[in-house]
Amino acid sequence: MKLSIVIPFYNEENMIQKMYDALVAEVNKITKAEFEIIFINDGSKDRTFEKMLAIADGDSRVKYISFSRNFGKEAGTIAGLEYATGEAVILMDGDLQHPPALLPQMIEAYEQGYDVVSARRTRTGEKPHRTFLAKHFYRLANKMMDIELMDGVSEFRLFSRKAVRAILSLQEYNRFSKGIFSWIGFKEKVIEYENQVRTVGETKYSLKFSLNYAIQGILSFNDKPLRMCINFGLFCLLISLAYVLWTFVQYFVAPDSLVSGYFTTIFSVVLFGGIQLISIGVLGEYIGKIYYEVKKRPHYLVDETNMTVKGEQHDD
């Protein structure tokens, strides 16, 4: 049995060796499988790629793919899946927050017939504001999306070759991997593990990045924001008609109680102007996604690699 482990790196010169050592310590214990370790250099600006080359020179199991620039984690994920040659593929982060010690359990679940094995972390020790935002995001996302996302489940997963083919068949440019992994279905097992604190360096996932990623996820798997704009517009129309009717009745019943229309006019202009701008913004987000899709640009460009063919060519 051959398994591929895919790990994207971006500016992790102080972590890549630690990650490799921890990973190999676990991999060497698993004698029933042959491993292919694929490191993705996502346009790092430090010495990450230099150290990656040194590791690959000393271990024939280590393959590397270096992008021409930083294309983002989604690009690293799809590149790893495309180039992987194993009958199953494991995705991990390179900061040791995805513990390699979980690999034996994931492989055991795969041997039991599961096509997807997902690792779910607890939020013990996480910063309170991140826990708060994450829980509310998943609650909102599951109400709005056509799929279900599980809180605490990231990209740390094992996929059978069948699941990998399904993921690669979805070629949209604007990718939200968590949603795609849920959308494909297949038999899945979830394994829980304790939250791991990053010991070296800083997280690449800032609050701004997380919010943008959350918005992209919500927009990628439903059109409910567009429908909400329509429904809210209809609601405002009904409120406006009710106000006009109330003013008309007041004119005949108590004309002296009517106030000057300046405030009402300004309030209405600001209110409906804001609603229109929000609606245009939501519509623009969807149009922008269409714009990027129709250009059909590749997800990434490879600058250097020691792999000769992509994984899908090994299916037979």
Count up the domains in the chain and report the number.
2
240 within domain boundaries: yes
Who contacts 171 (Cβ-Cβ below 8 Å, separation ≥6)?
none
Q: Are residues 230 and 303 in the same domain?
A: no
For the chain, what is the mean pLDDT? 79
Q: Are residues 74 and 162 in the same domain?
A: yes
- How do residues 151-199 score in pLDDT, each as one tens digit? 777 788 999 999 999 998 888 777 878 878 888 888 888 888 887 665 6
Asked if residue 98 lies in contact with residue 92, where contact means CB atoms within 8 angstroms, the answer is yes
Q: Are residues 198 and 281 in the same domain?
A: no
Q: Are residues 147 and 234 in the same domain?
A: no
Instruction: Walk across the sheet containing 88-91 and list its strands.
Output: 188-193, 116-121, 153-160, 88-91, 2-9, 34-41, 62-67, 302-305
Asked if residue 36 lies in contact with residue 61, where contact means CB atoms within 8 angstroms, the answer is yes
Predicted local distance difference test score (pLDDT) of residue 65: 92
* Residue with the larger pLDDT of the pair 260 and 108: 108
* Residue with the larger pLDDT of the pair 161 and 286: 161
Q: Are residues 100 and 200 in the same domain?
A: yes
- pLDDT-wise least confident of 131-145, 148-162, 206-220: 206-220
- pLDDT-wise least confident of 42-46, 65-69, 73-77, 279-283: 279-283
Who contacts 129 (Cβ-Cβ below 8 Å, separation ≥6)?
none
| Separation of alpha carbons 148 and 141, rounded Å | 8
274 within domain boundaries: yes
Asked if residue 82 lies in contact with residue 312, where contact means CB atoms within 8 angstroms, the answer is yes
35 within domain boundaries: yes
Which range, 75-89, 196-210, 215-229, has the best average confidence (pLDDT)? 75-89
Q: Are residues 198 and 235 in the same domain?
A: no
Q: Are residues 107 and 123 in the same domain?
A: yes
Predicted local distance difference test score (pLDDT) of residue 121: 81
| Separation of alpha carbons 175 and 177, rounded Å | 6
216 within domain boundaries: no
* Residue with the larger pLDDT of the pair 7 and 150: 7
Q: Are residues 285 and 303 in the same domain?
A: no
Q: Are residues 235 and 189 in the same domain?
A: no
Predicted local distance difference test score (pLDDT) of residue 6: 94
157 within domain boundaries: yes
219 within domain boundaries: no
Q: Are residues 197 and 261 in the same domain?
A: no
Asked if residue 189 lies in contact with residue 117, where contact means CB atoms within 8 angstroms, the answer is yes
Q: Are residues 161 and 254 in the same domain?
A: no
Q: Are residues 71 and 151 in the same domain?
A: yes
- How do residues 12-70 score in pLDDT, each as one tens digit? 888 889 999 999 888 888 877 788 999 999 988 989 999 999 998 888 899 999 999 98
211 within domain boundaries: no
Domain around 137 = 2-205+298-314
Whether residue 260 has pLDDT greater than 70: no
Is the entire prediction scored with pTM above 0.95? no
Predicted local distance difference test score (pLDDT) of residue 259: 56
Asked if residue 181 lies in contact with residue 168, where contact means CB atoms within 8 angstroms, the answer is no
Whether residue 265 has pLDDT greater than 80: no
Reported as a pLDDT band with limits 50, 70 and 90, residue 249 is: confident
212 within domain boundaries: no
Task: Please state the rounded mean pLDDT for residues 109-126.
Answer: 82
Predicted local distance difference test score (pLDDT) of residue 210: 60
| Separation of alpha carbons 100 and 294, rounded Å | 39
